[in-house]
Amino acid sequence: MIRELRIRNLALIESLTFEFGRGFTVFTGETGAGKSILIGAIGLLLGERASAESIRSGCNEAEVGGIFEVDLSAEPFRSLLEKLSITADDNQLIIRRRLSAGDRSRIHVNETPLSLAALRRIGDLLIDLHGQHEHQSLLNEQTHHEVIDRLEGVKPLRRIYDAAWRSFAEARRALDRHDADTRLLNEKREMLEFQLHELDQAHLKSGEEEELEAELKLLSSSAQRMTAVSGILELIGSSTAASLDKQVASVRRHLEQLARYDPSARPWIDDVENAQRIFSELEAFCSSYLSTNGERADPTRIEKINARLARIQRLKKKYSATIEGLIDKEQSLRGDLASLDNSGIERRELEKTFTDAQTACVLAGKKLGEARQAAVRTFDRTITVMMERLGFKGGGWRTRFAPLDAPSEQGCETLRFFVRTNPGEAELPLAATASGGEISRLMLAVKTVLSRSDYVPVLIFDEIDSGIGGIVAGAVGDALRELSLTHQVLCISHLHQIASLADRQVKVYKKQSGGRTVTCVEELSNEQRVNEIARMLGGDSKIALEHARELLGKGKKG
């Protein structure tokens, strides 16, 4: 429900805050007082188009805000808020819309900025606004399936169809993806085969590049390494001077002689022995290294390594990949070409899945269509009876079906509401009904029949009393009151028959403030309602006041 409405600088409204209640609220007042401005402000919160001309004269911007209580357990609403990344943990939506003279509209829902289209999607689930307004869900033929599918006996079959449709749609997408991928791969087959051949012939191995670079480094440093080894051997085993080994042996003998007289020198003997052994092993290593690697590096091997590294570098640059990435690409190319070779088998499997899903979807759609046909017979008849009650003598309502060539998300047929408002006239699509008052009463008839299954919680009726009076006006008031048992109902009315049946009555009036005209609203007490209804009856005479009290008394009893 809508709990609060705030308006600033909109048309004749300078600043206004109004709290709404549950049940049936009627707005009354003189013609031109500004009742439609209130409804228009609510329409702006639902995503209706705005005009800079609606901004109060002398102001640069206007703002409309509303606080709504929402039912997050309702699936359509919860899913929509999740898609729009809007949180409403306290079951409350705060909608703000600001209009500027530059015709720019800024919209926020719970502090989340939204587009006008997104606001309209939220508004579709919050309020149905009937009259000369664009925000009427039943005038959108896309919603007609949803109306019928909430009827007794149809809803379970719609759930079954939805599941079958999702499977069918996914199978169709899988088949389309396969065909698109196959076409693309076939167009690139020659290139794929060339790339695979190129990588396959390269015989790439993980870590190969590092191994080749290490070997090339050794081969390229052959002369430097041999010079270093020869120098070590010359120092260790020189024949022109006392060898390093002999010098160490001489040091050891002197240490042994010293240790005979001073035991503190003994640990050094062990260290010298270790050094002597190390030099001996080093000499053996260098001699072996020289004999094994002493030959000059093979230039042919160096050339081969350089050529191999250059080939690897070209491939890495060409495919913008490491050597491991090249190996992975080779495997991927093998997989793509294998998929092409096996595409016929895969397509037959996907085609079978698609055919089975299509058959199941068509069968579910047929059963859904039969349930719809059965349900609308009662639905159409009940709406026609309700239309008669609301002043459409000789009128009628009919739901028409037209089969589709293939299943759609809504079923296997189109569904449209047609209406005849006067005897002898042709049935026309609901959206083609011209009169705002007639549309409002038609919506009232439909909403009354759907009251228990309708998920839109707030209904607003503007101009519903246009062209009616007497018994019909009373019937309209009774229907609005009945509907308010399951919905929050707001109505603009000039008729006392309707106003007297409301739970709350709000007077809209104009006054002068600061030399300018402003629109104000006031919720009326019981005695104030008597005076207002007496005015609606045509005067404030004693008879009119007594009649007003009588009407209000009957309304309370009803």
Selection from 209, 218, 191 nearest residue 311 by Cα = 209
Q: How far apart are CA 462 and CA 470, in angstroms?
A: 19
Give 427's DSSP letter: P
3-class DSSP state of 281 = helix
Structure tokens at 95: 């909608």
Backbone angles phi, psi at 11, to 5 degrees: 55, -120
- Specify the pTM: 0.63
Q: Distance between CA atoms of 182 and 8, rounded to whole angstroms?
A: 60
Q: Which two tokens stand for residue 463?
A: 């101009």
Q: What is the DSSP string of 231-263?
A: HHHHHHS-SSS--HHHHHHHHHHHHHHHHHH-G
Could you give phi then psi for residue 95, rounded to 5 degrees?
Answer: -105, 130
- Tell me the pairing of strands 24-28 and 504-513: parallel
C-alpha–C-alpha distance, residues 123 and 137, integer Å: 10
Other CB atoms closer than 10 Å to residue 526's CB: what's the count?
A: 10
d(CA 60, CA 76): 37
d(CA 522, CA 333): 77
Residue pLDDT tens, the chain, 558 long: 899 999 999 988 889 999 999 999 999 988 888 888 888 899 899 888 888 888 888 888 899 999 998 887 777 788 888 888 888 878 889 999 999 877 677 899 998 999 988 998 888 888 887 765 455 666 777 788 888 988 888 989 999 999 999 999 999 999 999 888 888 777 677 777 788 888 888 888 888 888 888 877 777 776 677 777 777 777 776 554 457 777 778 888 888 888 888 888 888 888 888 887 887 888 788 887 777 665 555 678 778 888 888 888 898 898 888 888 888 988 888 888 777 777 677 888 899 999 999 999 999 999 999 999 999 999 999 999 988 888 888 889 999 999 999 999 999 999 999 999 888 888 888 877 756 667 778 888 888 887 766 778 888 888 777 777 778 888 888 888 988 888 999 998 888 888 899 999 999 999 888 888 899 999 999 999 998 888 888 877 788 888 888 888 876 655
Residues 6+ apart with CB under 8 A from 319: 325, 326, 329
Top CATH class, 2-150+390-523: alpha beta
Residues of the chain with CATH 3.40.50.300: 2-150+390-523
**How far apart are alpha carbons 552 and 408 in whole angstroms?**
51
Instruction: Judge contact between 451 and 486, C-beta under 8 A.
Output: yes
